[in-house]
Amino acid sequence: YRPHLFQLTAKSDGTLRSLLIRLGIAGACAGNTMLIAVSLYQGYFTGIEQHFEVFLRWMSLVITLPSVFFAATPFYQAAWAGLRFGRLHIDLPISLGIVFGFTASCYNTAVGSAHVYFDSVCMLIFLLLIGRFLQLKALHRAREAAELMPSLLPLTAKRIESNVTKEVLLSGISPGDRILVGPGEVVPVDGTLEGKHAELDLSFISGESRAIERTHGDSVFAGSRNLGLEFSMKVLAVSHQTRLGKLLTVVQDAAQHKAQVVKLTDRLTGYFVSAVLFFASLTFAIWIGDSFEAALDHTLAFLVVTCPCALGLAAPVALSVALARAASKNMIIRSEEALQKLAEARLFFFDKTGTLTQPGLDLNNIWLRQASEWIPFGELNPDLQNKIIAVVRGLEAEIEHPHAEILRQSLAGNNHSEVRFKKRRFLHGKGVEGEASNGEIWRIGSLGWYREFGVEELNMPAQVSENFSPLLLTLNQRPIAIMGIGEVLKVGSKELLKLLRNNGSEIHLLSGDRINRVVVAAKLLGIEENRLHGELLPEDKA
């Protein structure tokens, strides 16, 4: 079992499991009573001995008992709860139909009448439970999507006690504690950095796709990932008091509000149920002059045929399925009401990272420096290409940094060999330096790092100068190649924005990235600069 910030899934899981058990029992009862009904109906045409007919009716009654008294109890409970609060619930005519149908069948079985409806009652319960189960399943999936955020937090934390590190459950951490966060680990709480330096991935918190540096005393938030060496921090907030927990609270609170179309169908359902009960009573009054059995048969048929399930369930199920499908595509919609209003929206705010652009960065291209000119990687001869790839792979091997991972993944399919370095060192915020067996010093890193070594200013290719993170590869302080690390648009992003513009919509771009990076993405997407909003926190975007 994995602890979460809020224990909302436990109750919904239990409800879903209980409904599934009821559905299975109802299905078994419906199947068996239908088999018996076929035998009884066949007997009406071909003949059947009376003692067999009586036995089959009583057998149907016994088989129907679990369905009526266990599987159908959610309908009775909802109908009774509605009456207690002065409301005519959608399940009231359903419950009356089930009870009257079962009661009439029991009476007819006892007196030896030919009309029994055990198969119809069981099948009605089974089909209604299928609809309820599908509705609850869709709601459950949508809720699960909203609860993915806290599930990404670690189960435990390393608490520092008297200079000794002890691993404890996250629930045992309190404000004021000191904890240790190792390389690659997710920060479990909000707090302040005690060490001198930390490099964090905040993409989960702010959408910032590039590593962010933090120094002593800076804030560190739950959900951040440590990209550098281990660091210590002082805990300020835990659980639902963290920024992540508060964000989740906003999503969950909004999900409780019903859409206007659901509120409308709720009102209509009340009127419809009233009308059904009125005409059911009228039907009984009309046929009672013929016989009690005829009145009961016609009233029961009316209640079953006029079951208002479609009216009461259509809107909630449609919205729930839409929310679930959105959740399966990593979209969390604040509420059903927001989904309904989307059809009328003409002002759109898009988050950048993960929505219009890929969630991470990618290697756009490599250029080789030759005689003060930059030659695209694709125009180089294969041997030179393989040499560059081998050096880069050797330098970045096993380095825990987003840029290193991007380079390894991008170059993995081109060349499986790599240069072996006898010495390597990784410098935070700068790059990687390696000494080959022949004494050559290779470096790959940021342009700012190279200026410390006196590397001259470079006239970079236009494609790189427009990019976010140029990486320079040098041999003995001589520029060899430059690599452009940048964002990639998602397939269909431009087409979607074009469609919205053609419909007269105004489009804004939101991002946790620095504004200069947002401007670059906006140019690719065709969004005006006066409609850009950068360096935003999740709550700012909401």
**Residue 501 domain-assigned?**
yes
Query: Do residues 371 and 482 both lie within one domain?
Result: yes
- Tens of pLDDT, residue by residue over 451-466, are 776 665 566 666 555 5
Residue of higher predicted confidence among 267 and 299:
299
For every residue of 237-280, which 3-state class applies, written as one string? ECHHHCHHHHHHHHHHHHHCCCCHHHHHHHHHHHHHHHHHHHHH
Provide the token pair at 208: 């910032």
Query: Do residues 267 and 143 both lie within one domain?
Result: yes
Rounded mean pLDDT, 363-375: 78
Mean of per-residue pLDDT scores for the chain: 80
Query: Do residues 397 and 467 both lie within one domain?
Result: yes
Query: Do residues 266 and 227 both lie within one domain?
Result: no
pLDDT for 2 equals 37
pLDDT for 213 equals 82
- Tens of pLDDT, residue by residue over 42-95, are 887 888 888 888 899 899 999 999 999 999 999 899 889 888 888 777 788 888
Query: Do residues 376 and 406 both lie within one domain?
Result: yes
Query: Do residues 407 and 516 both lie within one domain?
Result: no
Q: At 113, which amino acid appears?
A: S
pLDDT for 260 equals 62
pLDDT band at 8 (very low <50, low <70, confident <90, very high): very low
Least confident of 92-96, 229-233, 278-282: 92-96
Q: How many helices (H) and strands (E) does the chain have?
A: 18, 19
Query: Do residues 283 and 409 both lie within one domain?
Result: no
Count structural domains, the chain: 4
Q: According to the per-residue pLDDT averaged within each range, which of 33-47, 178-192, 249-263, 526-540 is highest?
A: 178-192
**Residue 197 domain-assigned?**
yes
pLDDT at 130 over 90: no
Query: Do residues 274 and 244 both lie within one domain?
Result: no
pLDDT band at 7 (very low <50, low <70, confident <90, very high): very low
> Which of 260, 263, 410, 427 has its CA nearest to residue 344?
260
d(CA 11, CA 143): 12
| Structural domain ending residue among the three candidates 251, 278, 302 | 251
User: Which domain range does residue 17 map to?
Assistant: 9-148+258-328
pLDDT for 307 equals 65
**Residue 122 domain-assigned?**
yes
Report whether 224 contacts 200 (CB < 8 A).
yes
Residue of higher predicted confidence among 516 and 121:
121
pLDDT for 239 equals 83
CATH code, domain carrying 494:
3.40.50.1000
Beta strands in 428-502 (DSSP E): 431-436, 441-445, 469-475, 478-489
CATH code, domain carrying 394:
3.40.1110.10
Q: Which residues contact 504 (CB under 8 A, 6 or more apart)?
A: 346
pTM of the model: 0.49
